[in-house]
Amino acid sequence: MTEGKASVGILGAGTWGMALARLLANSGKDVVVWSALESEIEELSRTNSYHRLPEMKLPDHGIRYTTSVQNACECKDIVLFAVPSVYVRETARKAAPFVPSGQIVVDVAKGIEDKTFKTLSEVLCDELGDDVKIVVLSGPTHAEEVAVDLPTTIMAASSDMAAADFVKRTFSTGCMKVYTSTDVRGTEICGAIKNIFALAAGISDGLGFGDNAKAAIMTLGIHEMNNLGRHLGCQPETFFGLAGLGDLIVTCMSPHSRNNRCGRLIGQGVPVDEAVKRIGMVVEGINALTPVVRMAKKYDLDMPMVLLLFKIIKGQITPHKAVDIIFSENIDNELD
């Protein structure tokens, strides 16, 4: 691997995948971006721009676009998964014939697989084999800011520190600083669950509440994230670092967050399905809710905010009723 000319195949042409494609190409990497949507690849190839990030200027050279999974995966130093969490297994299955033993595989999707409770790195190992070197890249990183070179920090977590260090060197630029960790599961749990609390923060905004309420949501959020992580054997410091507290703050506070924007619409009275439709992109917090609720119940964990939000999203209670429950003395009974 020659780091100055490292080659990266990116599976997924969404906002995060495209922002990273630009960052890598601008730092001299050879990048291939894959999408299953022919219309998306045609537009990228024809316009050399991405409509969801209108302020981003893509380089004239360094990025190629393809609908061939084989072209995106073969002979690459890094294969990066940037598809929505619900498509990670399907995409990995397509990629598996072209991913060799020992391949460095980076996951930037955030979620937990429904029913299996598996993190996305575990899903990738299921489909690609245990001998690939998985690195989870996660942290407080809005694509909209990375796309215009605003200062950003991120965590590369892997059980293989040589792979994590290679990813660190590959992705580090004048505006992106990469740290490393061995706590893969903790990093993934943080990335999945913080989206849930961003929904809650958005609902609070939609109800017209202020900073006091949002601070309470974030404080309870980090507590509930840590409860789950501790049960799963994660490192406590992960939840109070970039992947945990850092990502929670940026996702709950920023108008760039689609989870926050979706929650705001719900708080304003927009039905959940309509709110998701208006966002126009995958709202990962909603996808994460069901498996996290099942895990909380299975392991008998104290996660009342998650359970309340689940009831709101499923239409079992209104946001105003949820507030009444929070301030009641019988919250445990209300959540049974």
Residues 16-42 pLDDT 10s: 999 999 999 999 999 999 999 999 999
User: Which residue, 137, 135, 154, is CA-closest to 145?
Assistant: 154
Residue 291 has, within 13 A of its CA and on its CB side, a CA count of 19
- In three-state secondary structure terms, 124 is helix
Count of CB atoms situated within 10 Å of the CB of 151: 10
Say whether 118 is catalytic: no
Residues 154-201 pLDDT 10s: 999 999 999 999 999 999 999 999 999 999 999 999 999 999 999 999
The predicted model scores a pTM of 0.91
Mean pLDDT over the full length of the chain: 94
Residues 58-111 pLDDT 10s: 999 999 999 999 999 999 999 999 999 999 999 999 999 999 999 999 999 999
Domains present along the chain, CATH in parentheses? 3-182 (3.40.50.720), 192-334 (1.10.1040.10)
Residues 264-283 pLDDT 10s: 999 999 999 999 999 998 89
Count of CB atoms situated within 10 Å of the CB of 68: 12
- In three-state secondary structure terms, 155 is strand
Which of these is catalytic: 76, 133, 194, 214? 194
